[in-house]
Chain A
Amino acid sequence: MKSVIAENLVKTYDKGRVRALDDLSLDVEEGTVLSVLGPNGAGKTTTVRILSTLMRPDSGNAQVAGIDVIKNPEKVREVIGLSGQYAAVDEILTGYDNLVMFGELYHLGKKQSVLRANELLERFSLTEAAKRPIKTYSGGMRRRLDLAASLIVKPKVLFLDEPTTGLDPRGRQEMWGVIQELVKGGVTLLLTTQYLEEADQLADEIAVIDTGKVIARGTSDALKKQVGGERLEVVVEQTHVAKTIEIVAAVSGNKAALDEGLRLISAPVSTGSAALFEVLKALDSAGIHALDVGLKRPSLDDVFLSLTGHAAEEKKVEVAEKKRGRK
């Protein structure tokens, strides 16, 4: 069963001048994680805002947990959790205050809200900081608290919009751990990210989006295959570069590429480790000692580059996703 379905979503800003979503469709199987991967301005936040009832699309349909997002937003709000790009908690209040307040807003009642708040603080390792104002928290702690707030009523579908943007590597690792724990608990998760590694780590499936459209989708492995198979890479001393290019090209049957700075010669191969063995043998009989030899599987960066013609994190086109509510 599909927990999230988006069909042909279109959303424009600035009276149609900016097309944030351009016929975007995607779905998420119940109990799985879909990562929506794309650069800034690709339409990730707009997608999440529509699915979480914060925004209406110009056209198209969407369902969350079988409920129509456009016709029944109130019902959708009862089954979703949302954690946005910025930790949406009251800085002045304590972590405990925030969670209790949200619990009460979910109509849990005072006693249940307190219980649930303590439970979540414990689970996200925030018990010690519970009675401190949020403004004393680190970026990672804020995000964890924000995530905790979105889990108060055990949502069926959870939306996380760039959950680790702005966190340092340690904060990111912690957040990944927390999210992986959650997923084990069986929640359906739609997560947006501009970090390829994050999508690779957390998602069952990846939807790559660019300029408001899904341009590729599949498992991380499938996407990597779509870009092409493995590449054979050899690094040698400067004096052997020319000869090595010949050898690699012969083994691969394709033209070999040279990175002069690294003295790295590479070419696509389809025979896997057999190619590796062959090239080592050829190098050996030519009397060339390779400094490094390897088979490299394409990274998601390569995927993005080959799908869009530009690298994921280099694209800095500021599409006017509604600036409201952001710094």
Chain B
Amino acid sequence: MSAVNDIAIITRRQLLLLTRVPEVLIFSTIQPVMFVLLFRYVFGGSINTGQPGGYVQLLMPGIFVQTVAFTLAGTASGLAEDMKKGLIDRFRSLPISQSALVIGRTLGDSLLNIVVLAVMGIAGYVVGWRPSAGLGNVALGFLFLLLFGYALSWVGVLVGLSASDARVVQNVSFIVTFPLTFLSNAFAPTTGMPRALQYFAEWNPVSTMVAACRELFGLENQFGATAGSFPSEHPLTTSLIYMVVIMVIFIPLSLRKYRNYAD
């Protein structure tokens, strides 16, 4: 059980860091809140969704998914930072479970996601987001989001440990994550995209996640899903498969990378 104990200590360290530098939390939430306001009031007025409650009902799941997708960058840059300071060497020289540091890091980043999602939810509510599904399904939706963030966090571990320079990590993760969240159904229907992009967007895990959340939050129209493709017909199943696949691939890869990272 000492591994569990080690992981708990590392996770707590992460939370302690968070309370000592509240800026991290503030900036993690400011950006998505800004997106909510921009899309809601700048674009929202001119997009006719045919949806009761308007654009904001479709927008919020998109913003939620985009927010948790950035966990990848958060985990990666956090680990790269630890590495730069030599902290990873210290942890690896301690008689603790060798995976505790990375597992604790991914859990800590997920706990941060809980806080950020709560703030986002409140912000959404303020600007008119009202999920029509029951409490159970809404909660399930948020659980889905956390799980997605957790899976991506493991990709972040590999990115962070592979990076040669901590400063590069944040930029690289951003360059990858940003287009992925936009080449999706998160903010606009995919039906307006060129054929190739549309195809890409439909299979994009961000799209399936957004569609899955919309479904769980009680929206019928999934906004841009072209009937026929498997992911758009079964967003929940596809998202789940994606998450499992990501974790099955990246958890062992990341742990191996961590164990051998000095060799």
| Contacts from A to B (Cβ < 8 Å) | 49, 52-56, 74, 77-78, 80, 82, 84-93, 97, 101-102, 104-107, 133, 149, 322-327
A54 CA to B95 CA, complexed, in Å = 12
A104 touches B92 (CB 8 A): no
The 9 A-B residue pairs whose C-beta atoms are closest, nearest first, are A88-B86, A88-B90, A77-B95, A55-B262, A86-B86, A78-B95, A82-B93, A92-B20, A84-B86
A327 CA to B88 CA, complexed, in Å = 14
Q: Contacts A82-B90, A327-B84 known; A105 to B96 CB distance under 8 Å?
A: yes
Q: Given A54-B89, A102-B94, list of 14 further CB < 8 A pairs?
A: A52-B93, A56-B263, A77-B94, A87-B86, A88-B86, A88-B87, A88-B89, A91-B85, A93-B16, A97-B16, A107-B2, A107-B5, A149-B90, A326-B84
A89 CA to B86 CA, complexed, in Å = 8
Residue among B6, B17, B94 with the highest chain A CB neighbour number at 10 A: B94
A200 CA to B20 CA, complexed, in Å = 42
Q: Does B251 contact A (CB under 8 A)?
A: no
A101 CA to B10 CA, complexed, in Å = 8
Q: Which of B83, B87, B95 contacts A106 (CB 8 A)?
A: B95
- Interface residues of B, dominant DSSP: helix
Residue among A49, A52, A88, A91 with the highest chain B CB neighbour number at 10 A: A88
B215 to chain A, nearest CB (A): 41
B97 to chain A, nearest CB (A): 9
CB contacts (< 8 Å) of A92 on chain B: these are 17, 20-21
Q: Name which residue of chain B comes closest to A102, CB basis.
A: B94
CB contacts (< 8 Å) of B132 on chain A: these are none
Q: Contacts A88-B85, A133-B20 known; A77 to B164 CB distance under 8 Å?
A: no
Q: Name which residue of chain A comes closest to B100, CB basis.
A: A105
A19 to chain B, nearest CB (A): 15
Interface residues of B in 183-215 (CB under 8 A from A): none
Q: Which of B86, B92, B94, B263 contacts A85 (CB 8 A)?
A: B86
A325 touches B95 (CB 8 A): no
B87 to chain A, nearest CB (A): 5
B64 to chain A, nearest CB (A): 28
Q: Which of B5, B83, B87, B96 contacts A89 (CB 8 A)?
A: B87
CB contacts (< 8 Å) of B90 on chain A: these are 82, 84, 88-89, 102, 149
| Contacts from B to A (Cβ < 8 Å) | 2, 5-6, 9, 13, 16-17, 20-21, 83-96, 164, 261-263
B263 touches A55 (CB 8 A): yes
A324 touches B13 (CB 8 A): no
A324 touches B94 (CB 8 A): no
Q: Name which residue of chain A comes closest to B262, CB basis.
A: A55
CB contacts (< 8 Å) of A97 on chain B: these are 16
CB contacts (< 8 Å) of B13 on chain A: these are 90, 93, 101
Q: Name which residue of chain A comes closest to B165, CB basis.
A: A323
B220 to chain A, nearest CB (A): 47
Q: Which of B2, B6, B17, B94 contacts A90 (CB 8 A)?
A: B17
Residue among B16, B88, B90 with the highest chain A CB neighbour number at 10 A: B90
A137 CA to B43 CA, complexed, in Å = 49
A229 to chain B, nearest CB (A): 43
B84 touches A105 (CB 8 A): no
CB contacts (< 8 Å) of B17 on chain A: these are 90, 92-93
Q: Which of B6, B86, B261 contacts A105 (CB 8 A)?
A: B6
B76 to chain A, nearest CB (A): 15
A94 to chain B, nearest CB (A): 9
CB contacts (< 8 Å) of B92 on chain A: these are 53-54
Q: What are 26 A-B contacts with C-beta separation under 8 Å?
A: A53-B92, A74-B95, A77-B94, A77-B95, A82-B89, A84-B86, A84-B90, A86-B86, A87-B86, A88-B85, A89-B87, A89-B90, A90-B17, A92-B17, A92-B20, A93-B20, A101-B9, A105-B9, A107-B2, A322-B262, A324-B83, A324-B262, A325-B84, A325-B86, A326-B86, A327-B84
A212 CA to B34 CA, complexed, in Å = 55
A325 touches B9 (CB 8 A): no
B260 to chain A, nearest CB (A): 8
A107 CA to B100 CA, complexed, in Å = 13
B9 touches A104 (CB 8 A): yes
Q: Name which residue of chain B comes closest to A133, CB basis.
A: B20
CB contacts (< 8 Å) of B93 on chain A: these are 52-54, 77, 80, 82
A252 CA to B9 CA, complexed, in Å = 68
A78 CA to B96 CA, complexed, in Å = 9
